[in-house]
Amino acid sequence: MKFFIDTANLAQIKEAQDLGILDGVTTNPSLMAKEGITGRDNILKHYVDICNIVDGDVSAEVIATDFEGMVKEGEQLASLHQQIVVKIPVIKEGIKAIKYFTDNGIKTNCTLVFSAGQALLAAKAGATYVSPFIGRLDDISSDGLNLIADIRLIYDNYGYETQILAASVRHSMHIIDCAKLGADVMTGPLLSIVGLLKHPLTDLGLAQFLADYNKGN
């Protein structure tokens, strides 16, 4: 399973990269704004800064909602750095744009996916990644993990190569459940990644080992 971090915070991206387990980064306009990154030039520069920290794919989202606009913007984003993946919303024009980028060898991440039908169309268009937002489904008492299971089943039925990128991950159990269901990638906050390490018996056991070692020294 690939681990992406879902943030535009450079310090957190670096911390995850230093852990040695980071495969990529996802961002969106809201995450950029949260870090105070506004204005087209600053946003483009920030994408390059992120690419210079990590080794893997970095999703950069288009703002345009029409086909021509998405193509123009996506090509500009893709030209920033070879690690950039163009992130495109799952709307009609977006599906057309994903097909265009697929045909032109540019990686895409189809975002704002909330149904199996949307994920099926993203795969048909050849998206590199599809991003079902599981936390936002849970927020409205719909089961986000069921969506991951449905997409996995559909993609496996037909051998679609689009990678399921579980997004809107909110906590460590989301990561474990997505891994059980066969999501190819998860993207979440640093806390949810580090949370995977936490176990009181590990802490107790380590404290005991150190105490016992120190008895003889």
Nearer to ligand G3P, 83 or 100 (CB): 83
Of 28, 108, 109, 128, the one binding ligand G3P by CB under 6 A: 28
Active-site entry in 2, 87, 92, 215: 87
Interface with ligand G3P includes 57 (CB under 6 A)? no
Of 2, 81, 99, 136, the one binding ligand G3P by CB under 6 A: 136
Per-residue x/- marks for ligand G3P, 61-100, CB under 6 A?
----------------------------------------
The residue ranges of DSSP E strands in 12-89, in sequence order, are 24-26, 57-61, 84-89
Nearer to ligand G3P, 98 or 167 (CB): 167
Per-residue x/- marks for ligand G3P, 172-191, CB under 6 A?
---------------x----
Nearer to ligand G3P, 100 or 190 (CB): 190
Place of tokens 């990678």: 163
- Is residue 17 helix, strand or coil? helix
Q: Tell me the C-alpha to C-alpha distance, in Å, between residue 143 and each of 109, 150, 186.
A: 22, 11, 17
Chain CA centroid to CA 6, Å: 6
For the beta carbon of residue 184, count every other beta carbon within 10 angstroms: 17
In 3D, which of 183, 97, 94 has the Cα closest to residue 147? Answer: 183
* Contact indicator for 148, 124 with CB cutoff of 8 Å: no
Interface with ligand G3P includes 155 (CB under 6 A)? no
Interface with ligand G3P includes 26 (CB under 6 A)? yes
Please confirm, yes or no, whether 87 is among the known catalytic residues: yes
Q: What is the closest distance, in whole angstroms, from the C-beta atom of residue 167 to ligand G3P in the complex?
A: 3
Q: Tell me the C-alpha to C-alpha distance, in Å, between residue 184 and each of 15, 93, 131, 157.
A: 22, 26, 11, 16
Catalytic residue numbers, as ranges: 87
- List contacts with ligand G3P (CB under 6 A): 6, 26, 28, 31, 133, 135-136, 167-168, 187
